[in-house]
Structure 1
Amino acid sequence: MKNKLDQFIEKNTPRINDTLHTILMRKDIPESLQAAMLYSVHAGGKRIRPLLVLATLEDLGVHAEDALEVAAAIELIHTYSLIHDDLPSMDDDDLRRGKPTNHKVYGEALAILAGDALQTLAFETLASLPNTRPEKTIELIRLLAIASGANGMVAGQVLDLEGEKKSLSLQELELIHLNKTGALLTFCIVSGGILADIDVEKMKAIKAYAENIGLAFQIQDDILDVTSTTEELGKNAGSDESSEKTTYPIVLGLEGARKQLMHHHLLAKQSLAFLEKDDSLLALFADYIVERNF
């Protein structure tokens, strides 16, 4: 019998995919560009980020008519970042989600432009929400720009590049990943809170949850890069070592990294005490993130 989280994922993943497809299937997009955009969006991602938006709302007991569009906008940003991450000038990866990376299929120039188009389409999607009050829409756009921009995800990517071939401290490593991975994950949770109109104290609690699952997500990524195969990951295993990046297993050792993973997992779940639920979807997602093998 499937558990609550499995049922939630099975129900909502097709809804997210349908929303993404509808957003992308516009007649005014050049055919080659549209094909490149669709290739990466439909490459088989687990949709963790958009699912977190919907899970936050469900745990808060709120229905928001534009939730799927907000969730889809985040996935568009995430997908653009993966296309650009894989480029020869960045991580130079040949595989993503078990398939050739975008630039391997469509060429580097079109891959860059597909990423650019997905990024701007995300903001167009948020700016076009039909059922959300204008002040909320503006706040969502502002916060997504921060989370994905020069003092969020892009900042983390720059710090990550600059940290290659250097020995980083745990504090420096966490700063990279609070930005590179954590900023967008935090926006997923916060956007649900904004749509639900929660108060300041609850917002503070879900932000703490989000920051801790963001770090846990990255620690597990680093552990899997060492312990899993390319086939299991759907991308090249051992890529961190080949890029000479500092990772949690390098700084803390493999067992130390696992202890740090469980520390952030515990803090994340403790932050959800205000929900007064033993089986909240967000708590189940925290378990899912630390137990995943992909």
Structure 2
Amino acid sequence: MRLPDFEAWAVFAAVADTGSFTAAAEALSLSKAKVSKAVSRLEVELGTVLFHRTSRRLSLSAAGRSLVDHARRIRLDGEAAVEAARDEASLLTGTVRIAVPMSFGLREVAPLVARFMALYPGIIIDMHLSDARVDLVDEGFDLALRIATLPDSSLRAIRLRPVQLYMIASPDYCARNGTPLTPADLEQHRVVYYANSAQPGLWSMTGRDGSRVQCPVKPALIVNNADAAMPAVIGGLCIAALPDFFCDEEVAGGRLVRLLPHWQFDETTLSIVTPPSPHRPARVEALIAFLRDALQHKQN
């Protein structure tokens, strides 16, 4: 059996990611001719064209688009295998790229990153804070923390703990607008829409008896980050549904109250998500182990 041309696959991934043969050659410390020959060699082996080439631009063909994720995995697996063969002390250096939801990252993860940095001064943390879902492979992230019900995918997930949404408002809001006593009462109120939700205008809840309801709600504020909602909620202007870690202190301090406590939103999960490859550099494994230990059993 003939082995795959792993070098050609890795070079193909580099050209696709950098957008040109010249840039790929620079990134790989190879000559442009060698990069071009590797791609041509792979095209001959596969019997298809991977790139459309013109004098002005280079673009992936349909076949190239369908194969580029495989090429990226081959390249990442090769890089991880090389690092795994090195001396353990040298592995705990370099950069780890991590994507984290904005509010959770600022409240929970940033302090943990500071502790991790003190333990591993040779590791550089590149932390991307955003509520938008990133593509770990395309954007070159080593791992991400996600608060969601994860869909089936090729990504690897380490589930840490459940996260519950609370329906909250300020005491002043309830005094002026009344406190909803049933899900149907929400029709008389305005709420915060979380723009990244699949259906921000439809709140699904389950009662203690197992009955499920779907409540259409009207917007007062539309945001893509929970922190942006808090001034309006604390100011008594609307109702919001926010994660437990986000509002527990405000509820305990009396600045916010939980509404409809006998009804629960669908539970989501805090997870560490990594690219498909089972091979990870030791510096990435170190951060994963640290975050798992710190976050898995923390209760709000």
Question: TM-score normalized by structure 2?
Answer: 0.21
Of Structure 1 and Structure 2, which has the larger fraction of its residues in strand? 2
Q: For the pair shown, which has the larger CA radius of gyration, 1 or 2?
A: 2
> Which structure is richer in relative contact order (CA contacts within 8 A, separation 6 or more)?
2
Question: TM-score normalized by structure 1?
Answer: 0.22
Of Structure 1 and Structure 2, which has the larger fraction of its residues in helix? 1
